[in-house]
Structure 1
Amino acid sequence: MNVIRKLSRTMRYQTKLMLCYLCSISLPIIFGLIYLYNTMVATAGQPLLNTIYQRMEQERSGVEKTVEDIQKSAHLLSTQTDINRFFIRNYYNPVDLIETMNYQIMPTLSWFEANEKTGQQFRFITQNTNLPENEFWEQASQYAKEPWYQAAVENSRSGGYYSEAWHPARNYPYSKNKSTQVYTWFYPLLSSRTGNFTLLEISIDAKHLFEGINNTPIAENGFLFTSYHDTLIYTGNMQADLTSWLQSEEAGKLIREKENVRGTIHLNGKAYYLSALLIKDLDTLLGCIVPQEEVDAPARAARNGFIAVSLGIVIAVLLISYTVATLLLRRIRRMLAAVKTIQKGSFDVRIPLYGEDEIDELAQEINIMSAKISELINTVYLSENLQKESQLAALQSQINPHFLFNTLETMKMAAELGETEKLNTGLTSLGGLMRYTLSATKAPVFLDVELRNLSYYMNIQTMLLNDKVRFRVDIPESVQKKVQILPLILQPILENSIQHGFKKRIGLLEIILTILQTDGGVVLNVSDNGSGISEKALHVLHEELKKDQPPQNTKTRGGIGLWNVNRRLILTFGEASALQIMQNPAGGVITHIFLPAIMENTEGENQCTDY
C-alpha cells in the first residue's frame, strides 16, 4: 500500500491521466474482445461441423428412402390378387394352374425382377406343394427347421412383416444373386390366412445399398463408413489403419455405447473427429471420420486473426491515450491557481490569456462566467422576490372578481324571491365578505379569521341552496388562533365541493374541515360527501394543477379557482404545500393542504362548529 501511495505521489499527472483513460475504456474493450472472440473464434468451426452433420443426415435419409421403397414394393407384391390366388393350394386345377403360371404369374414376376434395384432379389417360400419347381419360389418344407425361417413365420403370423438384419446371403437353387451379405424382409401373403402359409422374401445386397455414400467426400479428407455391431460393412477408400481401428474392440465399444456418437480419437499420433448415426430400420451405424486438423482449421485461422486484431486495438488505444493526455495537459497548470481562487468565492480574479487557441478560449469563458456569477448573485434573489409578488398580485386580482360575481348573483336570486330574512342575512354576509376580500393581502392570517370569512360565504350558499349544504369545522378554537393560513385559500375549495358535489345527488351536502399535526407542520383536510370524482377526471385535474398557466378549459373540474389556490400555496410555502385531491373512501372528495408550521399541543376537547 505504501508503495502504491509513493508511486501515486511521484507519478506524473500525464501518466495518471493516461491510466485513468485506459481504465475507463478497458471494460468496454474487454467486453468487446469477448464478444469478438465468441462470434469470431468460438463458432468458427461450427459451419464445418454443421456441414458434416447435414451430410450424414442426408446419407441416412437416402438409405432410409431406399429401404422404404423396397418395403413398399414388397407390400405391393404380397397383396397382389393374382399372386395370392396362385399360392392357394387347390385353387386351380392342374391345367389352369399351369396356364395361370405361364401367362399371368411368370410375366408379372419377370417384370418385377427386371425393374428391381441393383443387388435386390426376391422369392416366395410356400407350403403349396402343388406348384412345380421354379426360380421364383421354394418349398417351405426344405427350410422348416431353419432358425431364420421359424423366426420369420412366428413374427409374420400377426399380419406384419419381419426384418432380418445384416447376414450372409442364402444360396437358393436358381439364385442369380452373387451377394455375400444382405438385409432381408419377410412379408406374409394375404392368402396365408387360408392355411397355405406363404412368405415373400425380399433382400438387398449391403454393398450395393451403401456404395454411393462416398461418391462425394465428406469435408476434404473425410470418409463415411457403415458397421453392424462390431463388423464393418462398407468403408470405401478409407485408409488401412483407420479401417483396422474401426474393427477393433475399442472402436466397437465406443460406437455402440450410444445411438449418436460424436468425439475425438487418436491413432498413430494423429487425431480424428468421429461421428456416427443409427439407421434404425437396419440396426446399422452410419459413421464418418475426418482429420481433427481439418475440423480445427477454421477455428485456428480465426484465433490467429483475433490475436492480430486484439494487438492492433491495444496499440491503438495506447497511442490515443498518450496523445489525449499530452494535448489536455499543455497549459492547464496555468489556470489552476486562478480556478482555485474562484472556487473560494473570489469572483474578481481573472485568468491571464496567452494566445487564441481553445485553452485561451476556455480561460476567457471562465473570466466571463465569474463576472456573470458575481452580477447574478446580486440580482437573482431580488428578481425572484419581485416575480413572486407580481404573481401573487395577479392571482389576487383574479380571485376578487370571481367571489364578488357569485355573491351578487346569490343576492339577485334572493331579492327576486322576496325572502326578506334571507336577503338581510345575505346582505350582512355580503358586507363582511367584501370587507375581508378587499382588505386581504398576501400575508398569512390566523385560521379563525379565515373561518369567520367562510361563515359569511357559507351563509350565502346555504340561502342559495335552500339549506341543503352544511359546513362543519372540527378544530378547537385554541388551535384556530395559532395556525396561520393564506387568506381566501379555503373559499375556492368549498365552492368547488358545492359546485360538483350536487351533481347526480339528492340530499344534504356536508363539508367538514379538520386538522392534523405532522412532523413538518399541519395538514388541513376539506372533505365532502358529494358525488365524488372519477379516476379519469381526477387525473385531468392533477395535470391541470401542475401547469404553469391557468387552464384554458373552463369546464375542467376546479377550473381557475383551484389552480389559483395551488399556485399561491406553492409560491408561498414551496412544492410540499401543493394541493392533494383524492377520492374520499366514504364518498365524495377530500382535499389536503399542508402548511409548514408548528401547532403546539393544546389541552381541551375539540369543539365542533356548524355554519
Structure 2
Amino acid sequence: MTRLRPPDWLKRGLRPLRTIHGTISAAFSILILAAIGITSLNSYKLSEEAVLSNSQAYLGEVIQQVGQNIQSYIDNMENISLLIFTNKDVKYYLSDNPFLSREEIRTYEKSISDLFQSLLYTRKDIASIMVFGYNGRNVSDRRLTTLNPYVQLREQDWYVKAARAGGRSVISAPHVQNVVSGDYEWVVSLSRELKNSNGMTGQGIALVDLKLNVINDICRSVKLGSRGYVFIVDSAGNIVYHPQQQLLYSKLREEPIERILSAGQSSFLVDDGAGERLYSVQDSNFGWKIVGVAYRSELIAEPDAMRNSFLLWAAAALAGTLLISLLLSHRITRPIRRLQAAMRQVERGNFEVRAEVEQQSEIGQLERTFNMMVGQTQRLMDERIQTEETKRRTELRLLQSQINPHFLYNTLDSIIWMAEQRKNEEVVRMTSALAKLFRASIAKDDELVPIRIEQEHIASYLQIQKMRYRDMLDYEIDIPRELHLYKSPRILLQPFVENAIYHGIKNMPEGGVVQIAAEVDGDSIRFTVRDNGKGMDEETVQAVLNASARDNDGRDHIGVSNVNERIVLTFGAGYGVSIESEPGEGTCVAVTIPKVR
C-alpha cells in the first residue's frame, strides 16, 4: 500500500515553524487575529458594563443626597420633640398635680402653645405640633383646638407605637392627620412618649407632623433621565412616596418591594416588559429605603460605547502583541535563569530549593542532575542534624532524670523534721513544692515550655531551699507577665540557682540573696541569676562553663555547661550563657535566648 506523503511545497512552508523565529511569527499572527475577534465580539458588552457601573455609582450618590435632605427634616422634627421632652412647663402641665387651678392650667397651655407657635413660625415644613397627656390635658400650636370626636386617639398607629417605644422617637407612614376637626392634611408624623422628671413614668405623647409635600418636592426635584424617578418605602414595605402612587393603588403598576427590602444598599436590574430598569437602593437612619430608578435605554449611548470599546480593545491587542513577544523571549531563557537562581539559593545555605523541570532538553537534564545533587546534600545534612538532635535529647533526658540525691535526701529530711515539730502547714508547702519540682523534671513531651512554667518550676525549687535554709537564703523573682507566653528550654534556670546556693551562699555565715530577672533585649530575652555570695575567679568561671569544676561535696557543674550546650544546639551560636564574677563580690549569670512563641 502506497503511503501518502505531504507535497514538497507544504514541507517547505512548514519548515520555518520549526525554528524559534517561525514559532514567534506564528504566535504573533494567531494573537493578532484572536485580539481582533475578541475586540469585535466584546467591545459593546464591555462598554455597556462600564456605563452601567458609572450609572450605578451616580445613581447611588443622587439617592444618598435625597436621603440626607430628608434626614435634615427628620432631625429638625427630632429636635422639636426633644425640646418638648425636656420642657419643665410641659412636664408640670402633664403631671397629676391636683392643686393646679383652672387659671394655672390655662396659663401653662398658653405658655406651651406660644412655644409651639414660635417653633412653627420659622419652620414652614411643619404642619402642627401637639401634646396629648395621659391626664386628659391636650395642647397644640393653636389655642383653640377641637379634637375630632370620631377619632379614637389612643388607637392611632403613631400613638400606639410611641407609647411602646419607651421614650424613643417613632416615624410614621404617610397618613391624613384627622385628630383635629377640620384639619385633614397629608403628613408624616414623629411621635415620642413624654416622661416625668425622674424619667420613669410616662406622661403623654408629643406629636410633630411634617408636611408630606416637603418629601414630595425633594423627590420630584431629582432628574434621572426623561423617565427615571425616585420613590420611598418604609421598613414594612409601605410606599411613603411614589410619583405614580395612584397607579400603584390601582394595581396598574408594580414595584419589586420584596427585593428592595432585602437588597440592603445595592443596585439591581429589573425587566418586566415595560423596559429594563436599574434600581439603586439606599438605607436611611430613619428606617426608610430611598430608591432611584433609571431606564437602561437612557443610560447607554450605543455608538459612543462601541467606538470607545473598539479603541480600547485595539490598544489592548497591540499591547498584548508586545507582551507576547516579551513572554516568548522570557520563555526561552527562563530555565537557565531559574537554575541560576536555584544555585544562588544553595550558595546561601537553602538546601530546600529545587529547580523546576519543565523540558526534556539538555537544560532539563541539567536541572534534574542539580536536584539530585542538592537532595543528596540535604539528606546528608539532615542525617547529621538528626544525629545531633538525638544526642541533645539524650543529654536532656539524662539531665532531667538526674534528681540530685543530696537535695532529695535533705528535702525529705526537712519534711520529716517539720512533721515531728507538727509544722503541718510548712510540711504541706514543702511537699507541694517538691511535687511541682518532680512534675517539671519528669515531663518530657516538650523541650520548650512557656516561661510561666519555667518560673513556677524555679519558684518551687527556691521555696524548698528557703524553707531549708530559712534566714540564710532570700530570693527575688522579677519576670514580667508579658514574657509568660514566650517559650524557653525546660529546666533552664535551676542549674544556675543551684550553683549560686551551693557554691556562692551556703558556706557564708551571713547567708545571701538570689535574684532572678528577665527582660526583652531586641529580638531576644535575657535572664539573669545574680547572687551576693563568695564569687569566683576567672579560672573557676571558665571551669564552670566547661563542666570541669567540682565542689568540696563532689558536686560538679555539668548542669551549667549542659544548659549552655542545649541553648547553642537549639537556637544557634548567637545565644547562650555568660558569667561575670569576682571573688568576694558575688556572681551574675546571663542566659540569652530568642523570643519564641
Q: TM-score, normalised by structure 1?
A: 0.42
The higher radius of gyration belongs to 1
